[in-house]
A and B are shown apart, each in its own frame.
Chain A
């Protein structure tokens, strides 16, 4: 397997692989680099469409790709202000929890066929979805803790939207489950490899999933929670310095988890590439999965360039009407397709 690491005892290898999985490749380092890239891409793509340049002057030759690094350095030298009325412990610790819980779903999402010995589970879909659904609770708590009207309104909006879009999201995931008849994501990809990608088998579920993801991660047109022109930065308004950097990154990391799950559920994950072992069964297929989810992310952040923001009432109404109907139709379609195929 990892012959180049001959000096490490064999019994350590699984542990090392797990550590690599969590810390480097689909895990932490990859997420950080990807967050940098995707924020840059979002600004740049919106600028291109809107006849501007976007970030440019920090490293002009590379098109300003290290702009975020410069911003981070600036943040890290700023003072971290805790408002007087804020609830100290939630205010300080919730961003960390948010960050942790937005990274956590990636642990349950396999990126290669040989994933099962890292985290053996028959319920990986359920676990991944469960952990992504915890985040909004912290977000509401965070908006409450900051003692600021903008944070509070942002938190309320989050709660409203949470109720109206979580149901379609869960229905979309349920129709995926109904379609494949399994909660094990490795098996789900196997089924898609045998037939067709899920986005062709059940496009409705994919559409509902995407809409719910846009809502959950606060991308345009559903950036109602953060709404920078109405509520300064929604629940995150009171954060300054490095803490602001954290909370700004959270939606992008969430986006990553959701896109990874999307590419596994609907884009047949690592489909053309399979193998066994650490390199062939995890890293190479992992790159395919990763690239697919990066494309999904790029599409989702690209929407910023095209759409204006929905009004809250319109978004809630849409969530309970056509998105909900679409989700029910997806469920029905799944039942039909799974009946026909299996």
Chain B
């Protein structure tokens, strides 16, 4: 792209500009430099700290609501759940002196509002959110954006789970080139 010139403001310059444009187009038509990722077949290998969907680890959460407070887009709702429903109440070494609370508070994220800033993941004192780099999900209906509590306990399945993982490389000729992850070493 280094040979870009602005055509002169004369009849000859304009004609030359048209011819140059056509020639450039023809050059790319014969020798295409495609930058498209063939997405479902191959997907980008994402960096390690890529902020994607995350899930709640119920056992770690202490219901402190810090995540709800810190969330900048109000995507987190604290749910009140009856304790009896919780999967495994810690079989403690000693029996509690007084009966525990009847309800516990647990966060649930509305993915339609979440901006994936990960403030909640960072602020959580017990690291109760398990992050992942899954980012390529879509839903058919708006209601599916809001997972139930049970739905929030497991990570969604990525559509590009089985696709070939590639990494993007800067390339002098092409702009961007995708290489298979294997030959990165």
B8 an interface residue at 8 Å Cβ cutoff?
Answer: no
Q: Indicate if the CB atoms of A307 and B21 lie closer than 8 Å.
A: yes
Q: What 1/0 mask marks residues of chain B from 27 to 63 whose CB sits below 8 Å from any chain A CB?
A: 0110011111010000000000000000000000000
- What separation, in Å, do the CA atoms of A306 and B25 have in the docked complex? 6
Count chain A residues whose beta carbon lies closer than 8 angstroms to a beta carbon of B: 12
A32 an interface residue at 8 Å Cβ cutoff?
Answer: no
A340 an interface residue at 8 Å Cβ cutoff?
Answer: no
> In angstroms, how far is the closest chain B Cβ from the Cβ of A337?
22
B175 an interface residue at 8 Å Cβ cutoff?
Answer: yes
Q: Indicate if the CB atoms of A51 and B29 lie closer than 8 Å.
A: no
A305 an interface residue at 8 Å Cβ cutoff?
Answer: yes
Which of chain A's residues 23-64 have a Cβ closer than 8 Å to chain B? 45, 48-49, 51-53
Q: Indicate if the CB atoms of B34 and A49 lie closer than 8 Å.
A: no
> In angstroms, how far is the closest chain B Cβ from the Cβ of A30?
25
> In angstroms, how far is the closest chain A Cβ from the Cβ of B45?
21
Cβ contacts under 8 Å, B175 to chain A: 51
Q: Indicate if the CB atoms of A49 and B36 lie closer than 8 Å.
A: no
Most buried by B among A45, A51, A307, A322: A51
Q: Indicate if the CB atoms of B33 and A306 lie closer than 8 Å.
A: no
A91 an interface residue at 8 Å Cβ cutoff?
Answer: no
Q: Which residue of B lies closest to A322 (CB)?
A: B11
Cβ contacts under 8 Å, B126 to chain A: none
Which of chain B's residues 67-85 have a Cβ closer than 8 Å to chain A? none
Q: Which residue of B lies closest to A53 (CB)?
A: B36
Q: Which residue of A lies closest to B30 (CB)?
A: A48
- What separation, in Å, do the CA atoms of A322 and B14 have in the docked complex? 12
Q: Indicate if the CB atoms of A48 and B32 lie closer than 8 Å.
A: yes
- What separation, in Å, do the CA atoms of A324 and B175 have in the docked complex? 42
Cβ contacts under 8 Å, B28 to chain A: 48-49, 51, 305
B24 an interface residue at 8 Å Cβ cutoff?
Answer: yes
Q: Indicate if the CB atoms of A49 and B21 lie closer than 8 Å.
A: no
> In angstroms, how far is the closest chain A Cβ from the Cβ of B112?
27
B22 an interface residue at 8 Å Cβ cutoff?
Answer: yes
Which are the 6 A-B pairs with shortest beta-carbon distances? A306-B25, A48-B32, A49-B28, A51-B35, A306-B21, A53-B36
Q: List 8 A-B contacts (CB under 8 A).
A: A48-B29, A48-B34, A49-B32, A51-B33, A51-B36, A53-B36, A305-B29, A306-B25
18 A-B pairs besides A49-B25, A303-B22 with CB distance below 8 A are A48-B29, A48-B32, A48-B34, A49-B28, A49-B29, A49-B32, A51-B33, A51-B35, A51-B36, A52-B34, A52-B35, A52-B36, A53-B38, A302-B25, A305-B25, A306-B21, A306-B22, A322-B11
Chain B residues within CB distance 8 Å of chain A: 11, 21-22, 24-26, 28-29, 32-36, 38, 175
